[in-house]
Amino acid sequence: MYEGAIQDLIDELGRLPGVGPKSAQRIAFHILSADPADVTRLATALRKVKELVRFCAICHNVAESEQCRICRDPRRSDEVLCVVEEPKDVVAIERTGEFRGRYHVLGGAINPLEGVGPDNLRIRELMIRLGEGTVKELILATDPNTEGEATATYIALMVKPMGISVTRLASGLPVGGDLEYADEITLGRAFEGRRAV
Ligand SMILES: [Zn+2]
């Protein structure tokens, strides 16, 4: 449609999740007319996120060093481990202020239609962590949808023989939804009212 750099930018923006062709065009023209200092900051932020951010060696949350902020915190309990799908779920649970244990980020949920099986998630790493014998309770905080439930059921079956208490967040979360969209109070209550599975 356009020539050269502006079309390249529209094409790149259009490949981002949730950005349609019209939004891509609007953002591209916004950038074109923006203050050069603002655009430089955006470009720097894009470059830095790839250079600096990596995944925590213990829980696989996003981190800027070998271990994330939560894994490095000595005041948190090693006895309670909360399993989530994505780093954004860690943020959602941290916002509730209800949880003082550690996390394990799976990197997704079991989804046969999209070719995601247990081997594509960090379930093996989870089993190794649990094998160390420190964790007394495992909280399955995967999303309240089909894939999240399937993942929770799969992990619960594997972990139960290890004699670790396995709990799932209480109902009240919007079914079929995404953990990150639950408000803090609802998610906080779901945490308090977690039940054994
Ligand atoms: Zn970590």
Residue for token digits 């960090």? 122
Find the 67 Cα to ligand 1 centroid distance in Å: 5
pLDDT band at 137 (very low <50, low <70, confident <90, very high): very high
* Span from the CA of 22 to the centroid of ligand 1 (angstroms): 38
Q: DSSP class of residue 196? A: E
Query: Which residues are within 8 A (CB) of 19 and not within 5 positions of it... i.e. 6 or more apart?
Result: 13, 27
Integer-rounded Cα Rg, in Å, for the chain is 20
4: left (phi over 0), alpha (psi -120 to 50) or beta: left
- Give me ligand 1 centre to Cα 34, in Å: 37
Task: Write out the E strands in 1-135.
Answer: 54-55, 62-63, 80-84, 102-105
Per residue in 4-55, pLDDT (tens digit) is 999 999 999 999 999 999 999 999 999 999 999 999 999 999 999 999 999 9
- Report CA(155)–ligand 1 centroid distance (Å): 20
Sign of CA dihedral 143, 145, 147, 150: positive
Going by C-alpha positions, the residue among 140, 130, 134, 143 that lies closest to residue 174 is 143
Q: What angle do CA 187, 168, 99 make, to 5 degrees?
A: 50
- 54-87 burial, b for 16+ CB within 10 Å, e for fewer? eebebbbbbbeeeebebbeeeeeeeebbbbbbbb
Domains of the chain: 4-50 (1.10.8.420), 76-196 (3.40.1360.10)
Q: Which residue has the tokens 């894009």?
A: 46
Asked whether the predicted pLDDT for residue 193 surpasses 80, the reply is: no
Give yes or no for residue 156 having a pLDDT over 70.
Answer: yes
Q: What is the pLDDT of residues 54-64, one digit of tens each?
A: 999 999 999 99
CA of 158 to the centre of ligand 1 (A): 22
Can you give the pLDDT at residue 9? 97
Q: Minimal CA–CA distance to 60: which of 102, 107, 93, 100? A: 107
Band (pLDDT 50/70/90 cuts) for residue 189 is confident
Give the model confidence (pLDDT) of 69-126 as tens digits: 999 999 999 999 999 999 999 999 999 898 999 999 999 999 999 899 999 999 999 9
Identify the pLDDT of residue 172: 64
